[in-house]
């Protein structure tokens, strides 16, 4: 935000700079509020009520954006986290589990972040509806996992999907197929915020609609919006009333993010005064993960540091595997009561991510976003757990899809596990070329999935088709 003011304040005497900038902030905020009111005037009924709540959150975010005066971190103040603030998973898993796990499981809710589309893989509609294994979609596997828990332990662990306006309608249609599964499924929607003209810092939208000229002027503001949207939906209070205490949050495309009974037991067995309100699963960084957010100690608090917050002079240092050895998997365990408290106190503190975009017509816009893990510093007794790499198995590309569809993994009750026939525990590095970027192209080029048990590295750069019964080594 400071750079915007610098362009406007040329010629202003130094003594009047702060005053000038404050006047500009107030004018921008007043103009933004007026434009939002105009947009609300074009809405009616339920749409208007929902939009008012969304805009209240957007106003707070925009206000904070106008206050930012530079990088959100002072690099010399960054320290390695104290040893006891990031526990090795083996230490957590060494504690014996109780004879009955039902009580612990009945306090849990599984939340999947389901706001993304499958466009990056050449698919229309929600990414969660892409088939990934034996005709099962991401959503199918999630339901199977939770149903297996509920049947095995005679429990009632519900599934909650945080949808966006991009995915809500298609997801709700497909949920009917799970009516007879032993899983209660709830949904709520992320907020809908207006994209901002980069020059004027005002909304691009002309009315509240999402069709025609307004088709690409709205956006879901990142998964950090989960706290406000969950609270505003009324579902948070409902689940607390039902006796639920913790949510396990993860990206729906991370096939390694299953309910871990050892972590859950660690959470619920803490004494009341020292209850951990937030656990972030981290794992060891490899050269493929150098851009991933990491945990640091900052102002005596455990904090998530993202690459977007790093001053340019320190980006290489941030990417170092030796200094910053772990990264955030975005598998998070969070206290429902703490979310409610922090929302009601307006005390949820997350850094703003300014995401520049160019619309189809060439207009430059920005969107203000937040990340769910950034709130870690707002919670009491927050903890990192260094988990095995197997808990981070995201499917972001068709190359990832090839791996999870292959005989490297076996599928049981919705969960993928590395085959015991593979001699080394690491996954092969697979890089498919431009002819394989879309799922449909990939399916036509692989008549069957190759044997990959002994594969170390695969790069395909040309126009290649794989026949049946291929073994890659």
To which residue do tokens 């429990």 refer?
A: 155
Contacts of 400 (CB under 8 A, 6+ apart): 394, 430
Distance CA 222, CA 227 (A): 11
Distance CA 294, CA 303 (A): 8
19 is in an annotated binding site: no
Q: Which two tokens stand for residue 53?
A: 């709540």
**318, burial (CB in 10 Å: exposed 0-12, middle 13-18, buried 19+):** buried
Query: How do residues 355-376 score in pLDDT, each as one tens digit?
Result: 999 998 899 999 999 999 999 9
Catalytic residues: 396
Q: Crossing angle of helices 45-67/17-40, nearest 10°?
A: 170
Give 381 or 10, the one with higher predicted confidence.
Answer: 381
**14, burial (CB in 10 Å: exposed 0-12, middle 13-18, buried 19+):** exposed
pLDDT at 463: 65
pLDDT at 440: 84
pLDDT at 106: 97
pLDDT at 311: 85
Residue 127 confidence class, pLDDT cut points 50, 70, 90: very high
End-to-end CA distance of the chain: 52
Instruction: Write down the mean pLDDT value for the chain.
Output: 90
Number of Cα atoms under 13 Å in the Cβ half of residue 203: 28
**Is 60 exceeded by the pLDDT of residue 32?**
yes
Least confident range from 178-187, 287-296, 373-382: namely 287-296
- For 364-376, letters b (16+ CB in 10 Å) and e give ebebbbbbbbbbb
Query: How do residues 164-212 score in pLDDT, each as one tens digit?
Result: 999 999 999 999 999 999 999 999 999 999 999 999 999 999 999 988 7
**Is 90 exceeded by the pLDDT of residue 227?**
yes
Query: How do residues 72-93 score in pLDDT, each as one tens digit?
Result: 788 989 988 998 999 999 999 9
Check: CB of residue 126 under 8 Å from CB of residue 252: no
Region 128-133 average pLDDT: 94
Distance CA 204, CA 366 (A): 10
Number of Cα atoms under 13 Å in the Cβ half of residue 109: 27
pLDDT at 11: 52
pLDDT at 464: 63
**Is 80 exceeded by the pLDDT of residue 458?**
yes
SS3 460: strand
**Is 80 exceeded by the pLDDT of residue 273?**
no
384 is in an annotated binding site: no
Residue 449 confidence class, pLDDT cut points 50, 70, 90: confident
Region 96-100 average pLDDT: 90
pLDDT at 462: 62
pLDDT at 271: 78
Residue whose C-alpha is closest to residue 61's, from 340, 356, 371: 371
Give 251 or 471, the one with higher predicted confidence.
Answer: 251
Residue whose C-alpha is closest to residue 331's, from 412, 267, 413, 287: 267
222 is in an annotated binding site: yes
Residue 97 confidence class, pLDDT cut points 50, 70, 90: very high
Q: What are phi and psi of 384, to 5 degrees?
A: -105, 145
190 is in an annotated binding site: yes
pLDDT at 365: 97
Give 468 or 314, the one with higher predicted confidence.
Answer: 314
Least confident range from 13-17, 76-80, 405-409, 442-446: namely 13-17
127 is in an annotated binding site: yes
Region 285-294 average pLDDT: 86
Residue 424 confidence class, pLDDT cut points 50, 70, 90: confident
**459, burial (CB in 10 Å: exposed 0-12, middle 13-18, buried 19+):** exposed
**Is 80 exceeded by the pLDDT of residue 12?**
no
């Amino acid at each position: 935000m400071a750079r915007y003011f610098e362009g406007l304040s040329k010629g202003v005497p130094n003594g009047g700079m702060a005053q000038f900038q404050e006047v500009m902030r107030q004018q921008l905020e007043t103009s933004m509020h007026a434009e939002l009111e105009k947009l609300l005037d074009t809405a009616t009924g339920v749409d208007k009520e929902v939009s008012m709540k969304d805009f209240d959150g957007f106003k707070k975010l925009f206000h904070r954006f106008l206050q930012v005066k530079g990088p959100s971190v002072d690099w010399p103040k960054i320290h390695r986290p104290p040893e006891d603030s990031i526990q090795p998973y083996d230490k957590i898993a060494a504690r014996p589990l109780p004879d009955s796990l039902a009580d612990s499981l009945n306090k849990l809710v599984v939340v999947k972040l389901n706001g993304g589309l499958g466009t990056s893989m050449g698919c229309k509609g929600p990414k969660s509806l892409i088939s990934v294994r034996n005709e099962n979609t991401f959503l199918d596997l999630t339901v199977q996992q939770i149903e297996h828990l509920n049947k095995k332990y005679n429990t009632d662990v519900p599934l909650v999907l945080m949808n966006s306006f991009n995915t809500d309608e298609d997801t709700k249609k497909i949920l009917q197929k799970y009516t007879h599964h032993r899983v209660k499924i709830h949904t709520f929607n992320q907020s809908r915020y207006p994209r901002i003209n980069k020059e004027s810092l005002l909304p691009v939208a002309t009315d509240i609609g999402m069709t025609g000229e307004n088709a690409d002027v709205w956006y879901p503001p990142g998964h950090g919006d989960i706290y406000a949207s969950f609270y505003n939906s009324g579902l948070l209070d409902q689940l607390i009333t039902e006796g639920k205490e913790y949510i396990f949050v993860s990206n729906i495309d991370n096939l390694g993010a299953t309910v871990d009974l050892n972590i859950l037991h660690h959470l619920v067995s803490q004494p009341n005064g020292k209850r951990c309100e937030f656990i972030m699963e981290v794992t060891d960084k490899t050269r493929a993960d150098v851009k991933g957010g990491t945990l640091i100690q900052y102002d005596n608090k455990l904090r998530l540091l993202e690459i977007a917050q790093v001053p340019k002079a320190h980006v290489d240092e941030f990417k170092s595997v030796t200094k910053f050895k772990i990264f955030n998997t975005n598998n998070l365990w969070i206290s429902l009561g703490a979310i409610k408290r922090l929302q009601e106190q307006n005390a949820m503190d997350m850094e703003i991510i300014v995401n520049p975009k160019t619309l189809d017509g060439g207009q430059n816009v920005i969107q203000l976003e937040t990340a769910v893990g950034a709130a870690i510093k707002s919670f009491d007794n927050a903890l990192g757990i260094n988990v095995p790499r197997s808990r981070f198995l995201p499917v972001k590309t068709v190359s990832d899809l090839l791996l999870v569809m292959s005989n490297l993994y076996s599928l049981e009750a919705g969960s993928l596990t590395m085959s015991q026939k593979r001699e080394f525990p690491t996954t092969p590095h697979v890089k498919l070329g431009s002819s394989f970027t879309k799922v449909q192209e990939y399916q036509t080029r692989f008549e069957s999935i190759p044997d990959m048990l002994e594969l170390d590295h695969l790069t395909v750069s040309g126009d290649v088709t794989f026949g049946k019964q291929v073994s890659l080594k």
